Structure 1
Amino acid sequence: MKKQELIHLHGLLAQVRDHCQERTDSPIDHTAYDELGVRPTSIHKSKTEHKKAVFALAKGITGEIDVVDEQPVSAAAD
């Protein structure tokens, strides 16, 4: 994957994270991502740094999805 494509993916995941945070009551733990200090707008950062940020974001988002999926679903139809 080219650096430009990775930065684009990074931006998309950042938007997904923001959307998830707006829709959930509990905050999503993104300390690993925040500690990296790499944002989608940090175009001067290396491809490797953006790759680490993408993986950290994805891990935080999927971790929250796993928590949401574990909640019981009502058997009644809407």
Structure 2
Amino acid sequence: MHKDELLELHEQMVDIMTHFEAQGDGKDELFQQYHDLDVDPSDVHKSKSEHKHAVFVLGNALASVMSEDEFSSAGRIQKRMEELADDAESKI
């Protein structure tokens, strides 16, 4: 995936996160790890690896918000996103 495609995906995922945060259902703390990264889709000067890590961390949080349990489709996605985030972090 090219960096511009990754930035577009990152931006779309942030839009989804914003939707969940606006619902005010108390699940905002699930996005804290993503916010702590301080990597925004508009930060084009940051490396592709940093954005990739942010996408996986955000994907993990989004899957967590949508999962009913660890065996649901979203729960399995959450687990895989967590693994990918750890792998991407080791490459930064």
Give the TM bin, normalised by the shorter chain: 0.7 to 0.9
Q: Distance in 2 between matches of 1:64 and 1:2?
A: 28
Q: Which amino acid aligns with 1:62?
A: A
CA shift for structure 1 position 34: 1.3
Range moving further from structure 2, 34-43 or 6-15 = 34-43
Aligned to 1:36: 37
Aligned twin of 2:65: 64
Q: Return 28-37 or 46-55, whichever deviates more.
A: 28-37
Point out 4+ residue stretches in structure 1 off by more than 4 angstroms.
Answer: none
Instruction: In structure 2, list runs of 5 or more residues that go unmatched.
Output: 70-92
Q: How does 1:1-78 map to 2 (within 5 A)?
A: 1-28=1-28, 29-66=30-67, 69=68
- Report the TM-score when normalising by structure 2: 0.68
Instruction: Report percent identity of matched pairs.
Output: 34
Q: Which has the larger radius of gyration?
A: 1
Larger fraction in helix: 2
Greater RCO between the two (CA within 8 Å, min separation 6)? 1
The count of corresponding residues between Structure 1 and Structure 2 is 68
- For structure 1, the 5+ residue unaligned runs are 71-78
TM-score of the two chains, using structure 1 as the length reference: 0.79
Q: Which amino acid aligns with 1:36?
A: L
Q: What secondary structure sits across from 2:6 in the alignment?
A: helix
User: Structure 1: how far apart are the matches of 2:24 and 2:66?
Assistant: 10
Q: CA deviation at 1:24?
A: 4.7
**Structure-2 separation of matches of 1:43 and 1:64:** 27
